[in-house]
Structure 1
């Protein structure tokens, strides 16, 4: 059982990062070069370069369009007073997809398009949400260092451990019309 995840057979965090870095810096470039060579052999070198340039132009247009939509949705949600969790996730996915689209290569462009397109983004949003949710630390009442309300006590306020603290004045908030 992994000490951090609590799941039997789960890889320790350092080992997961090692595999992720191996894939990013070794496997992806090799896959990109392989695909570029294969496409170049089928359609020719200049057509391959032209296709990569056209792909980057398409990616820039998609980033601009979907980024503007994500920004407008974020502003609308904030103006309505709601928590913009979905909109922030969409913005992050468009940003990541844009970075992948701007890098040369067909494999990263395919992943970038999947992250940017509104049709496939909900799948990756759920995936991103589950990854973030697993990494969050939930703090509630009774957690050491936190008050009964669940907020971290930095200074001031009554303490439950018997140590003296600053004086607290209790009162009521009155809104005048």
Structure 2
């Protein structure tokens, strides 16, 4: 599956990058000030360290499961769409949990919940397709899905098990065959009629 982003949609991408790299750090600074002033500096730092450790453990556990699902899908000849989406979501979740901040930790933990991350990924993808931001092409030859290649392979193997009879043929000309029969009839002596005497003149 190939995805291309047209150049005319650079505006929304700029807004997304602005929210990620400018608005999010400002929000995290505000949260650090508010929560640190409420519970103190020490507990705030401890929460950040604990969330990073928990995130790394969750990333290791769910990452192994995603790798196994991807391998099973590839062995079955299927396109591992869901495992790839899960893998990308887990990488983002791990990065968010390793980043110091309360807002990023909350989003990271939500991405570790399978129903939430799949619903979010499906909603984002459908929004991008409807808005014309992405163009999707098939992964198989000439846009054919991978299961089509698997069906062709099975059909080819099935045909290989059939009995094959090798014969030689020669085209037959009906008109030529009739001429040969007429020539053979002309060469044969005329038959005597039954009951006729051989001494009759």
- TM class by smaller structure: 0.5 to 0.7
Larger-Rg structure: 2
Q: Is the 8 A contact 2:59 2:94 kept in 1?
A: yes
Tell me which residue corresponds to 2:169: none
Of 119, 134, 137, 1:136 maps to 134
The residue that corresponds to 2:10 in the other structure is 14
Structure 1 contact 89–128 (Cα < 8 Å) conserved:
no
Higher relative contact order (CA 8 A, sep 6+): 2
For structure 1, list consecutive stretches of 5 or more residues without a partner in the other structure: 6-11, 141-148, 152-172
In the alignment of these two chains, the number of paired residues is 139
From 44, 50, 68, the equivalent of 1:48 is 44
Render the CA deviation track for 1:73-131: whole Å, top value 9, x for unaligned: 11111122222111111111111111111111111111111112224222123134325
Instruction: Tell me: CA distance 1:62–1:131, structure 2 relative to 1, closer, same or farther (3 Å).
Output: farther
1:114 counterpart = 2:114: no
The Cα shift of 1:150 comes to 5.8
Match of 1:59 among 43, 55, 59: 55
Q: TM-score, normalised by structure 2?
A: 0.60
Look up the match of 1:73.
Answer: 69
**Counterparts of 1:54 and 1:61, CA distance in 2:** 11
Distance 2:137 2:29 in 1: 46
Q: TM-score, normalised to structure 1's length?
A: 0.68
Q: Of the candidates 27, 31, 46, which is equivalent to residue 35 of structure 1?
A: 31
The two structures, once aligned, show a CA RMSD in angstroms of 2.7
Q: Which has the higher helix share?
A: 2
